[in-house]
């Protein structure tokens, strides 16, 4: 079924681990791109207008995370926090210290590679960055170090964004174009904000807009949130969402992670539990990137194919409308001016969504310097090859990924800060909710049992037990929904006789308290919560 995948990209027979399926899919994707999509891109000069041709390293590279933010929002500190280790070229300070793009990647030994050397290395996915010239390459480097986190992902640190016109001129390269290049290739884009600096400068606004079409990759981190109290944090969060809403034109609300991402004591501990939960959510999101890498590359190839098709229709239409002899320049100006109308016409003719078309203004600017007479007419065979790829080959690859993911162990990012929250007493949720008392000899419910016993005996127990009706009258006073109370009843009725003794009733009250405190109920009753008088029967059942 998958004979067209071949043996490229180190693919091997099915049944391997997570890296094997990624390699197999990688080989299939590269093969599809070279045979189906690349000919269309080259014929209609796609690379001059949108994105350079993909290379082997683009398919083989590890998942990448791009950090973007204004100066002193903690981007470099965030990387240091994740790695729990300094990296070559790292500079941290309240002023704009990071003035370069730094690719932090795994290496057997610690060291750095300057930009000009980096873009000629075929094993690195940065060769196409050479088109931004020396002004950029002098501000680009790769920092390599042997770190467990970097075995699974690479991290791109970007220069701090300032406000004002001076920095735009002084950069010497198109900052937003560079960000767009990275955005098309990374797996996650993290926008960092400082709780004290929520203003979005003009350049930061332009930078965020350059991520158009990559909205699914964007996450937002509200950093240094421990420096404000709870009331101020609510206002800061609201202000941030309002500011983002003006810049990012999507109906969905972006996921914002709130916390203080550095290895220093919290200045304000009121929201410690919130910060820990948010950090855990962010860690899970980053840890899942290796497992989702194949799907992300597949998704990006589909987006690229759709754009390449639309580009071919635009270029071939412009070619068709050009006169053969006289009035070429006037016709060119007219067509460029009419580009919005041409978009609408092509949408109707080929049944294409408006969202698949490139930005009108940018396309008009690029067309100004082009000779329309050198454009090619529409070649249906090239379009058909891409349509076939999207309709058949991509579906087969997606099916392969789904099958393999169900048969392989989950691959996650490990090491650094990720290990500190996975196990032991400082793991997220340790000793809280249903996990409270797990490492204690005494039954954790016992400390509150006297208070629960007083309620139990007011319910008129018969032979030491209360009926389900009597228990229900007391349990519904918690105002929890019946679906939750039903689960609590099932967990508490240890012997399944439809009645509760004093220990089972105390357990039910304890589980109600856990839910009211905001914790989730366990799926099955943990051994440390089993009432002492029922433990023998539980052990026998197991």
Question: What CATH number was assigned to the domain covering residues 64-288?
Answer: 3.40.50.300
Contact 106, 144 (CB under 8 A): yes
Is the pLDDT higher at 538 or at 492? 492
Contact 113, 106 (CB under 8 A): no
CA dihedral 142, 148, 152, 154 (to 10 degrees): -20
Output the pLDDT for position 18.
46
Output the pLDDT for position 164.
53
Say if residue 17's pLDDT is above 60. no
Q: Among 300, 315, 296, 297, which residue's Cα sits nearest to residue 383?
A: 315
Q: What is the pLDDT of residues 179-211, one digit of tens each?
A: 999 999 999 999 999 988 787 888 888 888 889
Separation between Cα atoms, residue 106 and residue 75, nearest integer Å: 19
Q: What are the DSSP calls for 297-366, one per residue?
A: HHHHHHHHHHHHHHHHHHHHHHHHHS-SSS-HHHHHHHHHHTHHHHHHHHHHHHT--GGGSPPHHHHHHH
Q: What is the CB neighbour count within 10 angstroms for residue 133?
A: 12
Say if residue 155's pLDDT is above 90. yes
Is the pLDDT higher at 401 or at 8? 401
Q: What are the DSSP calls for 3-56, one per residue?
A: GGGTTGGG---SS--HHHHHHHHHHHHHHHIIIIIHHHHHHTTHHHHT-PPP-H
| 3-state SS assignment for residue 467 | strand
Output the pLDDT for position 42.
96
Output the pLDDT for position 380.
94
Q: How far is CA 473 from CA 216, 470, 478, 514, in A?
A: 48, 5, 10, 19
Q: How far apart are the first and last CA of the chain?
A: 45
Q: What is the pLDDT of residues 115-124, one digit of tens each?
A: 999 999 988 9
Mean pLDDT of 140-145: 95
Q: pLDDT above 70 covers what percent of the chain?
A: 89
Question: Looking at the chain, how many residues does it have?
Answer: 542
Say if residue 4's pLDDT is above 60. no
Say if residue 410's pLDDT is above 80. no
Mean pLDDT of 215-243: 91
Every domain range in the chain assigned CATH 1.10.268.20: 25-54+295-407
Output the pLDDT for position 455.
95
Output the pLDDT for position 14.
35
Separation between Cα atoms, residue 203 and residue 251, nearest integer Å: 23
Q: pLDDT above 90 covers what percent of the chain?
A: 57
If you classify domain 433-539 with CATH, what class do you get? mainly alpha
Output the pLDDT for position 29.
86
Every domain range in the chain assigned CATH 3.40.50.300: 64-288
Say if residue 424's pLDDT is above 70. no
Output the pLDDT for position 531.
94
Say if residue 421's pLDDT is above 80. no
Output the pLDDT for position 9.
38
Output the pLDDT for position 542.
57
Q: How far is CA 526 from CA 154, 485, 515, in A?
A: 39, 18, 15
Residue 64's DSSP bridge partners are 154
Burial class of 497 by CB neighbour count within 10 A (0 to 12, 13 to 18, 19+): exposed
pTM (predicted TM-score):
0.76
Say if residue 96's pLDDT is above 60. no
Output the pLDDT for position 321.
93
Measured in degrees and rounded to the nearest 5, phi and psi for residue 116 equal: -65, -35
Mean pLDDT of 245-266: 84
Question: Whole-number mean pLDDT of the chain?
Answer: 86
Q: Which two tokens stand for residue 479?
A: 């105002």
Mean pLDDT of 318-344: 92
Say if residue 219's pLDDT is above 90. yes
Place 104 in a pLDDT band, splitting at 50, 70 and 90. Answer: very high
What is the three-state SS of 183-224? HCCCCEEEEEEECCECCCCHHHHHHHHCCCCCHHHEEEEEEC
Output the pLDDT for position 341.
96
Mean pLDDT of 294-322: 93
Say if residue 472's pLDDT is above 90. yes
User: For domain 25-54+295-407, which architecture applies?
Assistant: Orthogonal Bundle (1.10)
Residue 189's DSSP bridge partners are 66, 218
Say if residue 1's pLDDT is above 50. no
Separation between Cα atoms, residue 489 and residue 486, nearest integer Å: 5
Output the pLDDT for position 420.
63
Contact 33, 261 (CB under 8 A): no
Every domain range in the chain assigned CATH 1.10.238.10: 433-539
Output the pLDDT for position 357.
94
Separation between Cα atoms, residue 391 and residue 380, nearest integer Å: 16
* Cα-trace Rg, the chain: 29
CA angle 397, 398, 401 (to 5 degrees): 90
Q: What share of the chain is helix, strand, coil (3-state, %, to 5)?
A: 55, 10, 35
Q: What are the DSSP calls for 373-431, one per residue?
A: GGSPPP-HHHHHHHHHIIIIIHHHHHHHHHHHHHHSPPP---SHHHHHTTSSTTSTTTT
Output the pLDDT for position 514.
94
Say if residue 80's pLDDT is above 80. yes
Contact 378, 312 (CB under 8 A): yes
Separation between Cα atoms, residue 243 and residue 62, nearest integer Å: 33
Looking at mean pLDDT, say which of 55-64, 92-101, 448-457 comes out highest.
448-457
Q: What is the pLDDT of residues 257-283, one digit of tens each?
A: 999 998 788 888 889 889 988 999 999
CA angle 380, 383, 387 (to 5 degrees): 130
Q: What is the pLDDT of residues 333-368, one digit of tens each?
A: 999 999 999 999 999 999 999 989 999 999 999 999
């Amino acid at each position: 079924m998958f004979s067209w995948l071949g043996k490229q990209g180190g693919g091997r027979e099915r049944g391997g681990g997570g890296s094997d399926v990624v390699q197999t899919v990688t080989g299939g994707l590269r093969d599809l791109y070279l045979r189906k999509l690349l000919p269309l891109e080259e014929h209609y000069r796609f690379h001059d207008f949108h994105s350079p041709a993909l290379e082997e390293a683009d398919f083989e590279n590890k998942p990448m995370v791009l950090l973007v933010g204004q100066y002193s929002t903690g981007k470099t500190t965030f990387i240091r926090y994740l790695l729990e280790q300094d990296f070559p070229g790292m500079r941290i300070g309240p002023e704009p210290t990071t003035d370069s793009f730094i690719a932090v990647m795994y290496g057997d030994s610690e060291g750095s590679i300057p930009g000009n050397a980096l873009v000629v290395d075929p094993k690195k996915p940065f060769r196409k960055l050479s088109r931004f010239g020396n002004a950029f390459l002098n501000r680009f480097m790769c920092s390599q170090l042997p770190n467990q986190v970097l075995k699974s992902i690479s991290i791109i640190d970007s220069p701090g964004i300032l406000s004002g016109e001076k920095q735009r001129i002084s950069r010497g390269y198109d900052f937003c174009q560079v960000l767009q290049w990275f955005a098309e290739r990374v797996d996650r884009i993290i926008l960092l904000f400082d709780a004290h600096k929520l203003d979005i400068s003009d350049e930061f606004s332009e930078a965020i807009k350059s991520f158009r079409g990559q909205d699914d990759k964007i996450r937002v981190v509200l950093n240094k949130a421990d420096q404000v109290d709870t009331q101020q944090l609510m206002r800061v969060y609201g202000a941030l969402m309002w500011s983002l809403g003006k810049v990012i034109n999507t109906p969905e609300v972006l996921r914002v992670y709130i916390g203080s991402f550095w290895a220093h004591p919290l200045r304000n501990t009121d929201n410690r539990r919130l910060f820990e939960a948010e950090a855990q959510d962010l860690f899970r999101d980053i840890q899942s990137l290796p497992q989702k890498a194949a799907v992300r590359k597949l998704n990006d190839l589909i987006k690229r194919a759709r754009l390449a098709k639309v580009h071919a229709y635009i270029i071939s239409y412009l070619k068709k409308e050009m006169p053969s002899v006289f009035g070429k320049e006037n016709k060119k100006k007219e067509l460029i001016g009419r580009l919005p109308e041409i978009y609408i016409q092509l949408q109707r003719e080929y049944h294409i969504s408006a969202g698949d078309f490139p930005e009108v203004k940018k396309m008009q600017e690029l067309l100004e310097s082009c000779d329309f007479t050198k454009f090619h007419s529409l070649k249906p065979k090239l379009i058909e090859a891409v349509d076939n790829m999207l309709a058949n080959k991509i579906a087969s690859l997606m099916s392969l990924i789904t099958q393999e993911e169900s048969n392989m162990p989950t691959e996650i990012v490990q090491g650094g800060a990720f290990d500190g929250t996975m196990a032991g007493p400082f793991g997220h949720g340790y000793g809280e909710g249903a996990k409270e008392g797990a490492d204690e000899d005494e039954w954790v419910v016992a400390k509150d049992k006297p208070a629960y016993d007083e309620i139990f005996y007011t319910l008129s127990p018969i032979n030491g037990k209360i009926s389900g009706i009597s228990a229900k009258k007391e349990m519904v006073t918690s105002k929890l929904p019946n679906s939750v109370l039903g689960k609590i009843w099932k967990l508490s009725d240890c012997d399944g006789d439809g009645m509760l003794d004093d220990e089972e009733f105390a357990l039910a009250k304890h589980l109600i308290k856990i839910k009211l405190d905001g914790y989730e109920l366990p799926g099955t009753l943990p051994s440390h919560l089993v009432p002492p008088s029922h433990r023998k029967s539980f052990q026998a059942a197991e």
